[in-house]
Structure 1
Amino acid sequence: MKPRVSALALVLCLACGGAAATPASYQLDGTEVRDIHARALERDYQLLVALPESYRNANRSTNRNTTRRYPVLFVTDANYAFPLVRSIAQRLAKHAGMEEVIVVGLSYAKGDSAVHSRRRDYTPSTPRGSSYRSDMPGRAPAFGEAGAYGRFIADEVFPLVAAQYRADMGRKAFVGHSYGSLLGLELLLTRPATFEHYILGSPSLWFDRGVMFEREQAYARARRDLPASVYFGIGARETLAPGKRRSRLEEEADMVADLKEFDAALNGRRYRGLQTRLEVFPGEDHASVFPVLFTRGLRAWLDRAR
């Protein structure tokens, strides 16, 4: 026997032209998206904002505390990192008793690919002798605007967040990975007080033949203080491939050795006000390490603040 179709089902099918309805997109609870124009950069970005549960509950009830302010995490590479950081931070707050935080994801520039945007905005210089190709037809690869992008964060993103949210702007943390950590190091060595804490994962210290080592040496010649708290994390498998000789080139970089060398240089200076912690995670590589290093870096910050 042929299956029967009810009259109602037939009418609904004809009304929609016989095509299946497009499924709704999934949205993250308690999140907002804000457009922001970077005036000096002449580019447009978005801020992805995740608010803690108690913040949202207070907003819905006149009987709850609406004056409480929350620490803020500013997260690079928001397309990947924002939902991950939001979920980990909220889970730790709910199940591990950790302090709640506001999470602000920093998007790539509108109209740019992720590769183009992060190469330009997160790197401290134009790499010497580079042979990079652009992934955007008709546009040359761009590098070296981390300083300008950092000023955009401090001068334009911070005021917007302070005005729109109950954010404790005296307790700000930067979260970056890979190129995102280069941006964090650029801020650390030019405007260290921009953030109270830095969570820097797997920094690409090989970039531009180790330019960040040169930047740190220049900083040491000029200053004896470095008021910052820095957490470094990296996967143990981010090492040099067997049979290769270590250098400051990407394909010959030992990222674990580079990070240990950089951390040792910072601590060897005995900068006033600087606290660093470095952890290497067994079994993790560049692609897998971020969730665990973020979790540990967040604990290192908030546990100390108790």
Structure 2
Amino acid sequence: MKEARLKPVNLLIALCCLVNSALAATASAPSGYALENTEVRDIRAQALNRDYQVYVALPDSYREGNKRYPVLFVVDANYAFPIVRNIAQRLNKHAGMEEAVVVGLSYAKGDGGVYSRRRDYTPTVPRDQNYRSDMLGRQAAFGEAAAYGKFISGEVFPFIAHNYRVNMERKIFIGHSYGSLLGLQMLLTEPRTFDHYILGSPSLWYDAGTMFERERAYATKNKDLPASVFFGIGALERLAPGKKRSRSEENADMVEDLREFDGLLQSHRFPSLKTRLRVFENEDHASVFPFVLTHGLRAYLRSSK
């Protein structure tokens, strides 16, 4: 049987129909929403042999002059960057707070969010190894906070300073949960990495309370801790009634852990340390971050009102 062949005219009509269908599909596809005055930059972590992105939000007045702005560095940027950008902008417009550049630090390219943050934000490999990986074929990774902190200070800082008008003498770290562990890692090793730390709901139960051990070790060797820290947590982040408190995720009382940790810092009477702790009523681990952020920014950024 001979193959059926389209006549040239019919072939032309068929091709036109295909093109029109493709154009119609393209025209009807919804476009993505983009935040104004934001940029995405790729950056290579040379020592870590990994690729990341930084998300940058510029103030409304950035194009108008030569001013250098305070800079906010926020981890867990995949969810936290738009929150920080929008709240900082709103505080400027409606509360007169000074403007700032916002820099979001993404998860590593090719890694799941849980996998990346567990590895990059935690200070130790936990003694309890009962963790499942969120990435097939790869074991869960932990304990690279020190190396990731060096990536921030050694590679991200110069990149931001070179490409944007920022005041690198006024750097703010913003973290929550595991992100706050990363902040504490830097606070207790290189406290001058940032000028102000906003730390929400730190996972102080992690690895049987390893951060308490690190706090004691720092206090043994140092007579000062030059830092400004705002701690915030939800009042509902408590241990359920009837359970015995311990340094474990299942039986942690995160509110009492944070009160204890802040009390230890204050007990050493470090001359240059300033801490504030705020417990937000009716908020839990999932809902408290915007409150911590707002009050943490107010504790550092100036307001004209």
Q: State if a TM-score over 0.5 links the two structures.
A: yes
Residue 105 of structure 1: aligned partner: 104
RMSD between superposed Cα atoms in Å: 1.7
Do 2:97 and 2:303's aligned partners in 1 also have CA atoms closer than 8 Å? Answer: no
Mind listing any 5+ residue stretches in structure 1 that lack a counterpart? 1-10, 59-64
Whether 2:285 is the aligned partner of 1:286: answer: yes
Greater gyration radius: 2
Q: Distance in 2 between matches of 1:32 and 1:241?
A: 43
Cα distance change on mapping 1:304 and 1:51 into 2, 3 Å: closer
TM-score (norm 2): 0.92
Cα distance change on mapping 1:114 and 1:214 into 2, 3 Å: same
Residue 22 of structure 1: aligned partner: 29
State the one-letter code of the partner of 2:57: A
TM-score (norm 1): 0.91
Identity %: 66
What is the CA-CA distance between 1:16 and the residue it aligns to?
2.6
Deviations 1:24-77 (A, max 9, x none): 011110000000000000000000000000003x1xxxxxx2x21000000000
What is the CA-CA distance between 1:13 and the residue it aligns to?
11
Residue 56 of structure 2: aligned partner: 49
Deviations 1:178-235 (A, max 9, x none): 0000000000000000000000000000000000000000001100110000000000
Cα distance change on mapping 1:279 and 1:305 into 2, 3 Å: farther
Cα distance change on mapping 1:304 and 1:220 into 2, 3 Å: farther
Alignment of 1:81-120 (within 5 A): 81-120=80-119
Do 2:161 and 2:168's aligned partners in 1 also have CA atoms closer than 8 Å? Answer: yes
Residue 300 of structure 1: aligned partner: 299
Q: Distance in 2 between matches of 1:218 and 1:133?
A: 31
Q: Distance in 1 between matches of 2:149 and 2:252?
A: 26
What is the CA-CA distance between 1:241 and the residue it aligns to?
1.2
Q: Distance in 1 between matches of 2:302 and 2:31?
A: 39
State the one-letter code of the partner of 2:159: L
Corresponding residue SS for 1:53: coil
Corresponding residue SS for 1:48: strand
Corresponding residue SS for 2:225: strand
The size of the alignment, in residue pairs, is 288
Do 2:204 and 2:257's aligned partners in 1 also have CA atoms closer than 8 Å? Answer: yes
Q: Distance in 1 between matches of 2:175 and 2:276?
A: 15
Q: Distance in 1 between matches of 2:40 and 2:209?
A: 36
What is the CA-CA distance between 1:12 and the residue it aligns to?
10
Residue 164 of structure 1: aligned partner: 163
Mind listing any 5+ residue stretches in structure 2 that lack a counterpart? 1-15
Corresponding residue SS for 1:157: helix
